[in-house]
Amino acid sequence: MVDYYGLPQHGEGAWPGRAQASGLDFSRKARCVQDALLKDMINEMGRHPGPQRFVPFVVMHEFEGLLFSDSAAFSHAIGRPDLESEFQAIRDAFPSPEEINDSPDTAPCKRVEGLVPGYEKPFLGTLAVLEIGLPRIRKECPHFDAWLKRLEAAAK
């Protein structure tokens, strides 16, 4: 799992597919990088690593975006039920939680930090995920859900 937004596009540290993805529609960007990562892995190994051995996931912006899947549960989990309407307003401005972002200053974690000074990502983010629950996140975040379905299929 890597964050698309911060992946280098050019130069020596450029990620496979990142430059090509920048010109695509939102719905195709992450998949472009994931496919390029798999192709790069195959080229490096000289063979396909197998569907269950390497299943890349590119989250478009940040983990915190997934937390906007349920604003009530998110605000309750972090001990700030008073922020439910602010979280919901952020969520309502985008087609899905996975699309929450406009610039480095408005990334999901920046939005949360602006409302919750001292936001501790590992601790509060974990509490929020536990409160929201995987079924709700999957329902609201189709790209994330598709990745989990691939993992589940590989485990069978």
Question: pLDDT tens for residues 20-79?
Answer: 998 898 889 999 999 999 888 888 877 665 655 788 888 888 889 999 999 999 999 999
pTM given for the model: 0.85
Q: Which of 123, 136, 152 is nearest to 66 (CA)?
A: 136
Contact 116/83 with Cβ under 8 angstroms?
yes
How confident is residue 131, by pLDDT bands cut at 50, 70 and 90? very high
Question: pLDDT tens for residues 73-120?
Answer: 999 999 999 999 999 999 999 999 999 986 778 889 999 999 999 999
pLDDT score, position 43 = 83
Q: Which two tokens stand for residue 98?
A: 């996975």
pLDDT score, position 50 = 61
Question: What is the enclosing helix (H) or strand (E) of 58?
Answer: strand 58-59
Q: Determine the Cα–Cα distance for residues 127 and 55; give it in Å rounded to an integer.
A: 26
pLDDT score, position 6 = 79
pLDDT score, position 132 = 98
pLDDT score, position 27 = 81
55 contacts: CB under 8 Å, gap ≥ 6: 147, 150, 151, 154
Rounded to the nearest angstrom, the gap between the alpha carbon of residue 6 and the centroid of all alpha carbons in its chain is 12
Q: Which of 66, 60, 71, 80 is nearest to 126 (CA)?
A: 66
Quick one: average pLDDT of 128-143? 96
Quick one: average pLDDT of 140-144? 94
